[in-house]
Every structure is written in structure tokens, then in C-alpha cells.
Amino acid sequence: MHSVSAEQPTAPDYQPQALKRAKVANYVVQSCYNVDTRDFEDHTFSGIMFDLCCKDTLPIEFIEIQQVWVRGNLGPMTVWVTPDSHGKKYHSSSDWKLVHKDTHKESMMDLVSLKIDPPIRLKCGESVGMYVHSGLEGDLGLVYNNRRSRVTHEDPHIRILPGMAHISHSPFSRHGYWGGGAWRYNREFVGRLTYGSRALFLSLTYSQL
């Protein structure tokens, strides 16, 4: 980075106020985004597990997932998160943290907001497993897709990956609706995520010659 030369007071530690910038923005969230995934309405059932990654391509300190939006017959809804990935944790509720629990009215056509409390905060390069589940009996709780590619959604900040569908109205249950296994591989989240980002400012240097 180029040095700056100018007439300034003789104090050796002088630095223009404009260059005295914090490396991190002094607000919680700078920008807010809504991202919608593809919606082919391939299936409905009880739940979907998938991974979400915070990319490291832009200078941000973190992103903050604030809401998950879904549609279906809904009913008793829960949202769970686990560090890194959902892989090999789908039967282990002790590895997950509950971040939403509420009962929601049926909404097959319009997306319904599930507020995340506390919000999910990810630094650049970090990832999280997410599990959205309807406790409604039957097979109409939640809409999701078949997997169609290696990535469900990608933008400059986040990457959403395919995961697994759950066909039991009991969270983390091993027993499916018709007996047998409760998980279906190669499925995708359908809905919307609302998230914010916090900027990471580049620090500037000032030299006095």
C-alpha cells in the first residue's frame, strides 16, 4: 500500500482522523438480505436437514441468520442448529441447539417466517447444520425438493447445500412414517433465509516522511 506524504503537525504519532478507522464496522449488521431457494414442490413431509456455509470471498466479519421461511401445513414447528455440519448427527438431539419453537397456521402457498432466537452467527469460512421440522402428524408438514445439483443456493455471502428429508413427526426419530428408516437422502431445502452481514473494513496505514 502506498505511503502518504503531506504537511502535518510535527507530533510523531499524528494520524488524520479519516484514517483512524476501526477494522470492524461499529454496528451489528450493515446489510440485510432475503434469499429464496428453488421451489419445485417435489415433496411434503416432516422435516429437512441441510448445511449452510459462510463464504470467505468478501471482507465481512460475520453473517447472522435471523429468519427461516417455509411453507406447508406447518403446525408445531422447530428449528435446530449444530456446529459445522448435520452429518452423522441426525439421530443425536444432544448435538443440536433449539433456536425456534412455535405453532404456525397452515400455509401451503405463502412462505411463513420462523424467527431464529438467538440469531445464528457465522464467521467467514464457518458452517452450520440446520434442521427445520414440523411436528404435525401426516405427510404434509413441510415442502422440500429433490436434489438437483451440488449446491442448493449460492450468493456472494452464503452457500446452502443439499441434505436429507425427515419422514417422522417426532424430531430426530429413527422410525419413519411407514416404518423402516426415517431419512431420505438427496433432498433440498425449499424456502427463504433472511440474514444480515457485518462489514470488515480494511485498515489503512499512514506514514510521515
148-174 tens-digit pLDDT: 999 999 999 999 999 999 999 999 999
135 pLDDT higher than 60:
yes
**Mean pLDDT for all residues in the chain:** 86
Q: Which residue has the higher pLDDT, 84 or 5?
A: 84
Grid coordinates in use for 69? 421461511
User: C-alpha cell of 30?
Assistant: 450493515
Pairing of strands 75-83, 107-123: unpaired
Torsional sign, CA 43, 162, 110, 102 = positive
The pLDDT, as a whole number, for residue 203 is 45
pLDDT, position 30: 66
Given pLDDT bands bounded at 50, 70 and 90, which one contains residue 41? confident
Burial of 26 (C-beta count, 10 Å sphere; 0-12/13-18/19+): exposed
Instruction: Tell me the per-residue pLDDT of 3-37, one tens digit each, with 9 for 90 and over.
Output: 333 334 444 444 444 334 444 444 556 688 999 99
**pLDDT reported for residue 29:** 60
CA dist 205 and 3 (Å) reads 7
Q: What totals of helices (H) and strands (E) does the chain contain, helices first? A: 0, 14
Q: Which residues of 84-117 are buried (b: 16+ CB within 10 A; e: fewer)?
A: ebbeebbeeeeebeebbeeebeeeeeebbebebe
Nearby residues of 139 by Cβ (< 8 Å), 6 or more positions away: 44, 45, 46, 167, 177
56: its cell numbers:
470467505
Tell me, what's the pLDDT at 201? 64
Omega prior to 118 cis, within 30 of 0:
yes
- How many other CB atoms are found less than 10 A from the CB of residue 12? 6
